[in-house]
């Protein structure tokens, strides 16, 4: 199975270079390219896209604003001449951040990450989420079984996620956004841009802090009302 990808970049020379790099990676398939995000909309609507190579400084709408407004679930690899946007980009769950001029070795390393994320998504998606009690995920070159009841919370770390279970922690190649989309929503909830928690493991809530075991996890201010409503819904005994 090949990862279907598109290029969004306003520079023809940059698009051509990435196109040539893609041709040299046997598990990638280029399905289209566009000179800005607005012209990529049809590509995204008409194709299943697994990976986007995205520039930042483009006319009409830049790459960062496109990420903020897009609901597409494809993995994102930034390809830009501007290193100063890296922190903001990783906060938006990009998979990797490549600064031009891009060496092929660095490009290939980012693509290998994308393949691992793709394989992990498939493993999680194929696990029986509705009736099942576990999922499988790739960690340290092996496929690990994780019981939903053992997963306490997940923490985003750049383009990795740390899974904290009752007995260990696992570092996996997947974005928090992708993990959130594939975990059962009746059991797990995003409480902060960097944290998803198992609502059944919550011991107490104190102000903006959730207590899970010995750990304290901050509830994001902009998510607080939604999170409390979801967690306490139909379970809060009132006076």
| Confidence at residue 26, expressed as pLDDT on a 0 to 100 scale | 94
14: closest CA among 57, 51, 45, 48?
Answer: 57
131: exposed, middle or buried (Cβ count in 10 Å: 0-12, 13-18, 19+): exposed
| Confidence at residue 134, expressed as pLDDT on a 0 to 100 scale | 86
User: Half-sphere exposure (CA, 13 Å, Cβ side) for 44?
Assistant: 19
| Confidence at residue 29, expressed as pLDDT on a 0 to 100 scale | 95
| Confidence at residue 37, expressed as pLDDT on a 0 to 100 scale | 93
- Three-state DSSP class for 120? helix
| Confidence at residue 129, expressed as pLDDT on a 0 to 100 scale | 47
- Those residues of the chain that have pLDDT short of 70 are 123-132, 234
Interstrand relation of 188-192 and 195-198 (parallel, antiparallel or unpaired): antiparallel
Sheet holding 28-34, edge to edge: 28-34, 3-8, 51-54, 75-80, 96-99
| Confidence at residue 46, expressed as pLDDT on a 0 to 100 scale | 84
| Confidence at residue 72, expressed as pLDDT on a 0 to 100 scale | 80
């Amino acid at each position: 199975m090949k990862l279907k990808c598109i290029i969004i970049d306003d520079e023809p020379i940059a698009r051509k270079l990435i196109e040539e790099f893609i041709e040299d990676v046997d598990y990638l398939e280029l399905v289209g390219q566009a000179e800005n995000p607005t012209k990529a909309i049809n590509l995204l609507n008409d194709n299943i896209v697994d990976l986007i190579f995205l520039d930042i400084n483009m006319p009409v709408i830049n790459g960062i604003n496109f990420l903020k407004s897009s609901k597409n679930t494809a993995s994102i690899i930034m390809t830009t001449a501007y290193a100063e946007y890296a922190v903001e980009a990783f906060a938006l769950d990009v998979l990797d951040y490549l600064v031009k001029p891009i060496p092929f070795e660095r490009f290939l390393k980012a693509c290998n990450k994308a393949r691992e994320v793709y394989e992990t998504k498939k493993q999680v998606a194929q696990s029986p989420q509705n009736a099942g009690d576990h999922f499988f995920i790739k960690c340290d070159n092996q496929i690990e079984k994780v019981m939903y009841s053992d997963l306490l919370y997940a923490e985003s770390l750049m383009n990795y996620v740390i899974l904290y279970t009752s007995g260990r922690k696992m570092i996996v190649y997947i974005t928090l956004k992708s993990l959130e989309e594939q975990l059962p929503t009746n059991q797990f909830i995003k409480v902060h841009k960097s944290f998803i928690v198992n609502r059944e493991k919550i011991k107490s809530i104190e102000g903006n802090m959730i207590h899970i075991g010995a750990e304290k996890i901050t509830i994001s201010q902009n998510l607080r009302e939604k999170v409390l409503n979801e967690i306490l819904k139909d379970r809060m005994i009132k006076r």
